[in-house]
Amino acid sequence: MNFFITYGTVEFLQHLKEQHPEEKLYLLHKEGDQGCLLHETTGETIFKEGHNYEVLDYVGSIADGKYVVMNNIAVTDEGRPLFESRFNQRARLIEKEPGFAAIRVLRPLSNDTYIILTAWEEEKAFTDWQASQAYNQAHKKRGTSEGVDKQPAIFLRPSYVTSYHVIH
């Protein structure tokens, strides 16, 4: 599966979405008029500009969520196999959390930044997960010699998180 992301004003992206009702498009927004349009497809994208990804792992439907969190992680070319291996071996506990809607592990095709995208029924479900035992279990190696975060040679720069609300 292919995954594409483009950014712009909510008004512009809404117009683009309306022009392609046959496509699987998800419109997201954050403060102000900042928007993000996601395109999930087995084919080519409708976007003229944007970022291209291959979906490595997925569960659920983004359409079932109202709140989306994207963990953006820049990985070196040499670090990609290790990084992907760690995600292939993930505990898969997040899928059982109340309010969980979807996850996408996205491999970049046109840049160096992987995205771990999760969708939630509401923002509170995400913050509840962060305080849960499942979160602690999924991140138990963080900060230890076995944790991927302690292997800085595979990361190009610090990761960052972006969050959005879904416009249905």
79: left (phi over 0), alpha (psi -120 to 50) or beta: alpha
Domains of the chain: 2-167 (3.30.70.100)
C-alpha–C-alpha distance, residues 63 and 25, integer Å? 9
Residues in the chain, overall count: 168
Q: Using 50, 70 and 90 to split pLDDT, how confident is the model at 143?
A: low
Residue 151 has pLDDT above 70, yes or no: no
Q: Using 50, 70 and 90 to split pLDDT, how confident is the model at 150?
A: low
C-alpha–C-alpha distance, residues 74 and 43, integer Å? 25
pLDDT tens digits for 75-127? 999 999 999 998 888 878 899 999 999 999 999 999 999 999 999 999 999 99
Q: What is the pLDDT of residue 149?
A: 55
- Whole-model pTM over 0.95: no
Q: What is the pLDDT of residue 152?
A: 62
Q: What is the dihedral of CA 15, 16, 22, 28, to 10 degrees?
A: -90
Please write down the long-range contacts of 141-148, taking CB distance under 8 Å and 24 or more positions apart: 148/82, 148/83, 148/86
DSSP assigned state of 153: G
Q: Which residue has the tokens 């109340």?
A: 98
Q: What is the pLDDT of residue 63?
A: 96
80 in Cβ contact with 119 (< 8 Å): no
Residue 24 has pLDDT above 60, yes or no: yes
Specify the pairing of strand 2-9 against strand 51-60.
Answer: antiparallel
C-alpha–C-alpha distance, residues 92 and 52, integer Å? 25
pLDDT tens digits for 36-78? 999 999 999 999 999 999 999 999 999 999 999 999 999 999 9
Looking at 78-156, which runs of residues are DSSP E strands? Answer: 100-108, 113-120
Q: What is the pLDDT of residue 156?
A: 93
Q: What is the pLDDT of residue 87?
A: 85
